[in-house]
Amino acid sequence: MRSLPSMPERFFSRYGIVVRTLCAFFILCCLLSVPARAEEVESGTLPADVEAGLEGLLASVPRQGPVPDPAGYAAVLDFVFRPAAETATARPGKTEQGFGAFTRDTIKAPLARILRYCYDPDIPAEAVYPSALRRGFWLPGSDLLKQRVALWDKMAEKGEPVVLRGAEFEEITPDSFSGCYYSYKLDRLLILTRHQGRAVLISVSRQQAPSTVGRKGAIVGDDRNWEYVYSPVTGSTMRGLGWVNTYMYDSSTIAVFYEETPGGNTTGYALFKWVKAGWSNLNVVKRSHILAGSTRFLSGFKQVLESDKLPPAEELATLGRNLRRTPETELRKALATYSEHLMQLGEKDSVLSGSDFWSILKDAGYAETLSRDELVSVHIKNYMKRKLGKPGIDG
């Protein structure tokens, strides 16, 4: 006769979910707890007119939102045009979307080049943002798809700002902190204008709804080589938190690209970003996490846009069109060697050899687990690595 469960067994059977949640919360608090410092301060340091300008831009993102007022966002542009040393301690205030962060950098490429590669909807987004996006594309009805506006040709024009709206799908690469990857839709507003005699592109986005549940992904080797494996298993690769179902609940971004000098060969970049992510509606994102993610994004972006080996824009657009027309069986067959190499790496890697990843890598079967769009994404990443002279495992 089967014996009755012990008191501890009965307790964990009834309260196991609660106990695991409390344990996870305790572990995360230990991981994330630090002495009180600037990143825990909820108030911001931005001037009031800059905060108001940012709020106005975010309110204008939805298609039914108000028309962006140039007078309203002029303070934002004045702020990002200031010398970097004067904005080094800038910090957006905390909002319903979580903590905000501000960062800036310089890209050694003309603004026209950035517009050409980033805002041609035929160029796959993962070719330009290899360290940030697994996949990304404009959704039907977006102005860039309907109007086919060549922003790079319009940047020298004077007059009223060019205002475009649309929606995008994005699936990100595995997060370097949790190992999770997510997909979501976002609304985006683009404003091409001039300020103080310089061309400026303002890109504003707002996540439409919570993301899909976080799934386990792995960064293979050096993150600068843009190699990732995507498991269908939900959860995190963080020790002790593998079972947690996480989400990106909300996010907003205001990015400003501007000519450092009129017609010059360098582009200034400024980013205001807010992120709310975690589980059970608990936001675990700090400013330090946002800044680390922004640094990672910029690293891959600059490796592409600053490279003298970057393929012509039309070559990448043609590549995207051709891959989307290629039969799925051919796409999968062409990744046979790639899948074999991934399996060999998995045999030696402590993360990839775990059951969640080994189940898709064994028998060189990784390509068999991918959808058509995911196969295309791998081919694009491998193509970019070859063209830019980066190490790859695609054979």
**Domain assignment of residue 26, yes or no:** no
CATH number of the domain enclosing 247: 3.30.530.20
Length of the chain measured in residues:
395
| Sign of the alpha-carbon dihedral angle for 367, 371, 376, 382 | negative
Q: What dihedral do alpha carbons 320, 254, 182, 380 form, nearest 10°?
A: 20
pLDDT reported for residue 3: 43
Asked, for residue 2, whether it belongs to a domain, the answer is: no
- Residue 261 confidence (pLDDT): 95
Looking at the structure of the chain, the number of domains it has is 1
- What are the residues facing 318 on neighbouring strands? none
Per-residue pLDDT of the chain (395 residues; tens, 9 = 90+): 334 444 444 433 444 443 344 344 434 443 443 433 444 567 789 999 999 999 999 999 998 888 899 999 999 999 999 999 999 999 998 888 888 999 999 999 999 999 999 999 999 999 999 999 999 999 999 999 999 999 999 998 888 999 999 999 999 999 988 899 999 999 999 999 999 999 999 999 999 999 999 999 999 989 999 999 999 999 998 877 778 899 999 999 999 999 999 999 999 999 999 999 999 889 999 999 999 999 999 999 999 999 999 999 999 999 999 999 999 999 999 999 999 999 999 999 989 999 999 999 999 999 999 999 999 999 999 999 999 999 877 75
CA distance 239 to 237: 6
Q: Are 68 and 191 in contact (CB under 8 A)?
A: yes
Integer CA distances (angstroms), 143 to 36, 61, 123, 166, 391, in order: 45, 13, 16, 6, 37
Q: Which tokens hold the place of 210?
A: 């919570």
Domain limits for position 167: 46-388
Residue-wise pLDDT for 76-112, tens only, equals 999 999 999 999 999 998 888 888 999 999 999 999 9
Residue 280 falls in which region: left (phi positive, over 0), alpha (psi -120 to 50) or beta: left
- In whole angstroms, what is the distance from residue 212 CA to residue 95 CA? 22
Tell whether 5 is covered by a domain.
no
Does 285 reside within a domain?
Answer: yes
In a domain, 224, yes or no: yes
Q: Which residue has the tokens 């319009």?
A: 154
The predicted pLDDT at position 113 comes to 98
**Which amino acid is residue 159, in one-letter code?**
G
Q: Is residue 78 part of a domain?
A: yes
Closest residue by Cα to residue 183 from 205, 225, 215: 215
Both tokens of residue 97?
Answer: 């979307």
Q: How far apart (Å, rounded) are the C-alpha atoms in residues 315 and 322? A: 10
In a domain, 371, yes or no: yes
With respect to residue 180, please indicate whether it lies within any of the assigned structural domains. Answer: yes
Q: What gap in Å lies between CA 232 and CA 214, rounded to an integer?
A: 10
Q: pTM to 2 decimals?
A: 0.89
| Alpha-carbon span 69 to 51, nearest angstrom | 14
Q: Do residues 142 and 165 touch, judged by C-beta distance below 8 A?
A: yes
DSSP 301-350: HHHHHT-TTPPPHHHHHHHHHHHHHS-HHHHHHTTHHHHHHHHHHHTT-T
In this predicted structure, what is the pLDDT of residue 43? 77
